Structures are given as C-alpha cells and as structure tokens.
C-alpha cells in the first residue's frame, strides 16, 4: 500500500477530491467485502465462529504491525490512539459479537434487512454530531437502499422477527455506523497504523469471547477452509480495511457506509458465479433498487461533510500517489 501522508494544513488551499479514484476504491472495497461472506461460510464449516474471526483478525493485525515496523511509521498517541482503539471496539469487537450472537437466532435475511439501515443510522449519528447535513437526498437514498435489500431478502423462511436478537442486530447497526464515523476521524493517519491497532483490539476481544464460550482452538485441516482463511486474512481483511479508510478519507462517513448495503448484492453475484446459487427475479429487482439508492446516496453533492466544507479555504488533503 502506498504511503498515506497525514492531513496537512495551509492557508488558501482547498480540499482536493478525486471522484473517479474514490469510486474505484469504493468498488474495490465492496467487491472484497461482498466476497468475504462466501469465504466466511467456508471458514465456519470447520472453525468455531469467534475463534475463526479472532484468528483471522489476529493474523491480519500481525501483517499490519509488520508493515508499520518496516516503514517505521509512528504509532498514534493521545486522542488519536483512543479513537483508533474505539474504532476496533465498535467496528470489530462489539459488531461481530452482536452479529454472531444474533445470527444463530435469526435468519440471514433478517440480518441483511437490519444492516441495510447502516447508511441511514450513520447519517443520523453524523448529523447529531454536527459532522454532516441531514439532506433529503441522503435520507432518500438510504431508504431506497433499505427497500431494495428488504425486497431481496423477503421469501419463505428468509425473515424472522424476535425482539432480543432484533435489538442485538440494531445494536450492531449502531456500532457499525459509529465505527465508520470514527474511521473518518482517524482516516488521515496511515491505514497500516490504524488497522494494526484496531484489528488487534478486535482480535483480543473475539478470542476472549471464544475462550469464554469454550470453543475449540485449532488450525484448519481442510484445504478449502485453509484457503478461505488465507483469503479472509489477506484480501478480506488487510485489503478491505485499508480500502475502507482510504474511502473514508475522501468521502463522508454516511457515503462510505453504503458499502454495507452493497455487500449482499456482490455476495449474490459471486454466489451465482462460483457456487451456482440461484438468482431470482425478486433478488435481481431488489439489487437494482439497492444500486439506485446507493447512487443517490453517494452522489457528489452528498459526499462532502460539513467539516470539509468549512475547511475549503484552509485545508488540503494530500492523497497517496
């Protein structure tokens, strides 16, 4: 990954944006994130869930630590360290704990619908923290994406509603939204540094939960599970989390969070191509509605935060080459 210089300040300089580059990074992150679902399915065939996730993030964190040491990058301190740890707790520790707990009690369709609320929740949280404007366009795009995901998920046995698991999913959604906002706050730091700390924090929590639940700790013996784990550690974690931070550096938190509603669309496509999963008319229509909502939500007019607009004449972000 190319070096990512920190945010610099200078009078008379405007924040630079590269819409095409931002879209390319966003598309790459969505592709990796959506394909992760298939890899996790393979991983869960042999590895217990918390152990599999903890092992994945431990190895990914180790790779980021090696990068930090090799490049002699400075570790975050003070408020930046606190925010980086919070990013790991919110986006990995609590999010994955709540998701794994809920997914043994509700269907994947239910979880998909609830997680489709992430962009709207992120927008509301960012607005409450005075980081973004609550525009009708952004709200409309979020709601349209929710409608599309709901249409994709609805089917016989696909959706179940139970109060406590539903609350867990909503809690995971809030954690995901706030973690994107925190990621935006630390996105000026080098992605390797941020991810080394965040993933290590999340891995420690997940391994602790695994031990408390009495899960079996063992390395995969099946070749396909081992390959899935390698993918999840490298492209699925190192690549994905670096890309997320680079997108967050360019876009608002709410626009970045639209990744969550596109993941199921990518999973559907890869599932059809790689493992011959059927694609229904309903899922195709839903996917098109989702993409329409995402297009509205990440349009150029909604991608810049209030803070960025206020800094137009005083701040420049130097993008990596």
The per-residue pLDDT for range 3-12, each reduced to its tens digit, is: 333 333 333 3
Q: What is the pLDDT of residue 307?
A: 43
Phi, psi of 132 (to 5 degrees): -145, 160
Instruction: Kindly report, residue by residue over 238-268, the tens digit of the pLDDT.
Output: 999 999 999 999 888 988 988 888 887 887 7
Instruction: Compute the C-alpha angle 83/256/265, nearest 5°.
Output: 130
103-133 confidence digits (pLDDT tens): 778 776 677 778 888 888 898 899 889 888 8
> CA 260, CA 58: separation in Å to the nearest integer?
23
On the question of pLDDT at 160 being above 80, the answer is: no
Residue 227 pLDDT > 90:
yes
Cα gap 107→191, rounded to integer Å: 34
Confirm if 192 and 149 have CB atoms less than 8 A apart. Answer: no
The average pLDDT across 17-44 equals 80
- Burial-class residue 116 by CB neighbours within 10 Å (0-12, 13-18, 19+): buried
pLDDT tens sequence across 208-219: 999 999 999 999
Give kind and range of the element (H or E) at residue 9.
strand 8-9
List CB contacts of 97: < 8 A, sequence separation 6 or more.
50, 205, 206, 209
Contact 317, 11 (CB under 8 A): no
pTM of the model: 0.78
pLDDT at 255: 87
Average pLDDT over residues 84-98: 94
pLDDT for position 239: 96
How much is the average pLDDT of 148-161? Answer: 68
- pLDDT beyond 60 at 315: no
Are 225 and 43 spatial neighbours (Cβ–Cβ below 8 Å)?
yes
Helix residue ranges, H only, 44-186: 49-71, 78-88, 95-103, 108-115, 118-128, 136-153, 163-186
């Amino acid at each position: 990954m190319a070096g990512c210089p920190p945010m610099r300040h200078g009078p008379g300089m405007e924040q630079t944006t590269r819409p095409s580059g931002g879209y390319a990074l966003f598309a790459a992150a969505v592709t990796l994130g959506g394909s992760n679902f298939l890899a996790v399915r393979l991983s869960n065939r042999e590895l217990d869930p918390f152990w599999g996730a903890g092992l994945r993030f431990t190895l990914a964190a180790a790779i980021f630590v090696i990068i930090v040491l090799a490049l002699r990058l400075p570790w975050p301190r003070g408020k930046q360290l606190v925010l980086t740890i919070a990013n790991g707790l919110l986006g990995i520790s609590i999010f994955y704990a709540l998701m794994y707990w809920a997914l043994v009690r509700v269907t994947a369709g239910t979880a998909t619908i609830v997680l489709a609320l992430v962009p709207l929740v992120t927008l509301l949280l960012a607005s409450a923290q005075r980081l973004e404007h609550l525009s009708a366009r952004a709200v409309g795009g979020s709601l349209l994406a929710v409608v599309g995901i709901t249409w994709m998920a609805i089917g016989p046995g696909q959706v179940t509603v139970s109060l406590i698991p539903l609350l867990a999913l909503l809690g995971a959604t809030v954690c995901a939204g706030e973690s994107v906002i925190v990621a935006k706050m630390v996105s000026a730091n080098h992605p390797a540094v941020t991810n080394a700390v965040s993933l290590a924090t999340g891995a420690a929590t997940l391994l602790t939960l695994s031990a408390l639940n009495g899960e079996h700790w063992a390395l995969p013996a099946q070749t396909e599970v081992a390959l899935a784990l390698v993918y999840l550690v490298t492209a699925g974690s190192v690549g994905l989390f670096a890309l997320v931070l680079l997108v967050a550096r360019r876009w608002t938190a709410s626009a970045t969070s639209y990744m969550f509603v596109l993941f199921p669309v990518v999973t559907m496509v890869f599932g059809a191509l790689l493992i011959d999963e059927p694609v229904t008319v309903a899922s195709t229509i839903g996917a098109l509605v989702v993409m329409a909502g995402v297009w509205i939500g990440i349009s150029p007019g909604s991608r810049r935060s209030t803070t960025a607009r206020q800094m137009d004449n005083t701040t420049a972000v130097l993008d990596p080459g």
